[in-house]
Amino acid sequence: MNIGMLVFVLFGISILGYGQTDKAYKVACVGFYNLENLFDIEDDPTIRDEDFTPEGSYSWDAEKYQNKLTNMAHVINDLGTSISPDGCAVLGVCEVENKRVLEDLVAEEKIKARDYKIIHFDSPDRRGIDVGLLYQEKYFTPTNSVSHQLNFETDPDYKTRDQLVVSGEMDGEKVSFIVAHWPSRSGGMEKSQPRRIDAAVLGRTIIDSLLAEDPNAKIILMGDLNDDPINKSVKNYIRARAKIAKMKKGDMYNTMYTKFKQGDCTLAYRDAWNLFDQLIVSEGLVSEDASSYVFHKSYVYSKEYLKQKEGNYKGYPKRTHAGGKYLNGYSDHFPVFLVLKKEVK
């Protein structure tokens, strides 16, 4: 940790809500953001990106692409800075077309100084959208990364996003991140549910493999799950519990469950709000012993500038396009982040 960061923590304990204490903590923010169709303007004949070309339905040209990059960088620059001046040490993303758009994103002036590094694999998704991980080297050093393909026995022709697993070290501690974007609710929630259950089974298999290596492994599953914390894909198959006290060996803790119950959500559709963007942590991150990194608190980042200001969708996330119109907005999802803390000895 650099000196500037340490000074911030020493003077920022009350901001983190620790109250009167003589303890000081290092902190690191971990976030996730659905970037909503971050496509370049080139036509890739192998995917369905025709709408996002100058000749496509969105008239997606260099100016609009640059606006999108600038807007995304603006949000990423702000995300987590109420806790850490460096923002998110690690940021999972989804709905990105390829590695190039991430390279363009991290080169944006707003976040260029953070020198985000990129981990990305092309996936077989029909729309051509992938997940990825951005990280700052001074916080996180990756040691292994792998992309797990999700296959459907009942529908082998259905192609969706891979699940990205990145393991590495944060301040000498091993931490693993799973970045996911589960199948959508297209066709209806019930009809599409088996695909998200399959995605959850794959996610749980990954979690179990990490726990087999280390029963106390520090794991963060992050992503747009296209289900809420109360849905069975998350509760029953990931085994993401609402309360730490209710966890059994191998269970995960859903840091977003209470927020969902309180109405603190990340997206809206037809006047119904959902919290699809979730941050779920393993038992190794919920200890009261903060001698190593542990979970402290999670947030939905829903600042006013990210919201539609008027009309039928007032208060909704302000999108890039809506109703066939170009809004020059941000995303149809609010980002989320959590804080890890570690006591300074």
User: Would you mind telling me the total number of residues written for the chain in this entry?
Assistant: 345
* Structural domain span for residue 335: 3-343
Give the count of domains, the chain: 1
CA distance 51 to 130: 17
**Ramachandran bin of 320, using left for φ above 0, alpha for ψ from -120 to 50, beta for the remaining angles:** alpha
Q: Please give the Cα distance from 23 to 40 (Å, whole number).
A: 47
Does residue 254 surpass a pLDDT of 80? yes
Report how far residue 322's alpha carbon sits from residue 329's, in angstroms, rounded to the nearest whole number: 9
Give the mean model confidence (pLDDT) for residues 235-259.
Answer: 98
- DSSP 8-class letter at 92: E
A 10 A CB-CB count for 88 gives: 29
| CATH value at residue 108 | 3.60.10.10
CA dihedral of residues 167, 85, 320, 123 (deg, nearest 10) = -10
H-assigned helices in 189-255: 189-213, 232
Q: What pLDDT sits at residue 218?
A: 98
107 phi and psi, to 5 degrees? -85, -5
If you search the block for the tokens 């599409």, which residue do you land on?
192
Q: For the chain, how far is it from start to end, CA to CA, in angstroms? A: 13
* C-beta of residue 165 within 8 angstroms of C-beta of residue 177: yes
What is the average pLDDT score of the chain? 93
Q: Which of 260, 255, 262 is nearest to 275 (CA)?
A: 260
What is the arithmetic mean of pLDDT over 270-292?
A: 96
What percentage of the chain carries pLDDT values higher than 70? 94
The alpha carbon torsion through 95, 96, 98, 99 (nearest 10 deg) reads: -130
Q: Which residue has the higher pLDDT, 12 or 301?
A: 301
Task: Tell me which residue of 203, 209, 216 sits closest to 173, measured CA to CA.
Answer: 216
- Among 340, 335, 342, 298, which Cα is nearest to 78's? 335
With 80 as the cut, is the pLDDT of residue 242 above it?
Answer: yes
How far is the C-alpha of 224 from the C-alpha of 227, rounded, in Å?
8
Residue 156 has a pLDDT of: 85
Please tell me the distance from the alpha carbon of residue 334 to that of residue 235, in angstroms, as a whole number.
Answer: 22
The per-residue pLDDT for 109 is 98
Q: Are 297 and 337 in contact (CB under 8 A)?
A: no
pTM: 0.94
pLDDT at 6 over 70: no
| β-bridge partners, 253 | 241, 281
Reported as type and span, the H/E element at residue 278 is strand 277-282
- 8 A C-beta contact, residue 87 and residue 138: no
The pLDDT assigned to 21 comes to 57
- The answer, yes or no, to whether residue 3 has pLDDT greater than 80, is no
The pLDDT assigned to 345 comes to 80
* pLDDT at 1 exceeding the cut of 70: no
Question: For 50-71, what is each residue's pLDDT tens digit?
Answer: 999 999 999 999 999 999 999 9
